[in-house]
Structure 1
Amino acid sequence: MGQVRGGQVGRRERLAKPRPRAPVVIGTGLLVAMVMAQVLSGVRPEELRLTSVVVVLLAASAVAFLAARHGPARAAGAFGAVVAVGYAAEWVGVRTGVPFGEYDYTPVLWPQPGGVPVIVAVAWGGMGLAAHAVATAIVPGGGPPRVAVGALALTAWDLFLDPQMLRLGLWTWADPGPYRGVPVSNFLGWLAVSALVMVVIDAIVGRSAAAAAGGLVALYAVMAAMETLAFAAVFEPPDRLVAVAGGVAMGTFVVLAGRRRWPR
Structure 2
Amino acid sequence: MTQTTRPQVPHSVGLWILLAISFAAAFVPAGANGSVTLLIGMVPVVFAMWHFIRWAGAQTAWLSFLAVVVISFLGEALGVATGLVFGNYYYPDGPLGPLLLGVPPLIQFQYFAMAYASLMIARSIGGSLTVAARGWMLFGVSVMAAFGMTLLDLASDPWHATVLQQWIWRDGGPYFGIPIHNFFGWFFETLAFLLVVQALLNRTKALAKIAEPKPRGFWLQGVLLYGTFPFTIALTPLVQGSAFDHDALVIANAMVGVALFAVVPLWLAGLLSLRNMKTHE
The alignment's TM-score, normalised by the length of structure 2, stands at 0.79
Cα pair distance change 1:21/1:198, threshold 3 Å: farther
Q: CA deviation at 1:144?
A: 1.5
What residue is the counterpart of 1:25 in the other structure?
13
Q: CA deviation at 1:41?
A: 3.1
What residue is the counterpart of 2:97 in the other structure?
110
Rounded to whole Å, the distance in 2 between the matches of 1:54 and 1:222 is 12
Q: Answer whether contact 1:41 1:50 (CA < 8 A) is retained.
A: no
Q: Given the alignment, which residue of 215, 222, 230 partners 2:221?
A: 215
What residue is the counterpart of 1:147 in the other structure?
142
Q: Answer whether contact 1:27 1:62 (CA < 8 A) is retained.
A: no
Q: CA deviation at 1:26?
A: 2.5
**Which stretch of structure 1 is more off in the superposition, 98-107 or 159-168?**
159-168
What residue is the counterpart of 2:197 in the other structure?
201
How many residues of Structure 1 are paired with residues of Structure 2 in the alignment?
248
* Identity between Structure 1 and Structure 2 (%): 24
Rounded to whole Å, the distance in 1 between the matches of 2:84 and 2:105 is 19
Cα pair distance change 1:257/1:37, threshold 3 Å: closer
The 5 Å alignment of 1:131-146 reads 131-139=118-126, 140=128, 141=133, 142-146=137-141
Q: Does residue 1:161 correspond to 2:167, yes or no? A: no
Rounded to whole Å, the distance in 1 between the matches of 2:59 and 2:111 is 19
Q: CA deviation at 1:76?
A: 2.3
Amino acid at match of 1:244: G
Q: Given the alignment, which residue of 236, 239, 252 partners 1:234?
A: 239
Cα pair distance change 1:48/1:182, threshold 3 Å: farther
Q: Given the alignment, which residue of 93, 104, 117 partners 2:79?
A: 93
The alignment's TM-score, normalised by the length of structure 1, stands at 0.84
RMSD: 2.5
Q: Given the alignment, which residue of 255, 259, 264 partners 2:268?
A: 255
Q: Answer whether contact 1:129 1:201 (CA < 8 A) is retained.
A: no
What residue ranges of structure 1 are gaps of 5+ in the alignment?
1-9
Secondary structure of the residue aligned to 2:52 is helix
**Larger relative contact order (Cα-Cα within 8 Å, sequence gap ≥ 6):** 2
Rounded to whole Å, the distance in 2 between the matches of 1:86 and 1:23 is 29
Rounded to whole Å, the distance in 2 between the matches of 1:74 and 1:24 is 20
Q: CA deviation at 1:17?
A: 6.8
Q: Does residue 1:64 correspond to 2:60, yes or no? A: no
What residue is the counterpart of 2:230 in the other structure?
224
Amino acid at match of 1:145: G
Cα pair distance change 1:115/1:213, threshold 3 Å: farther
Q: Answer whether contact 1:24 1:64 (CA < 8 A) is retained.
A: no
What residue is the counterpart of 1:186 in the other structure?
182
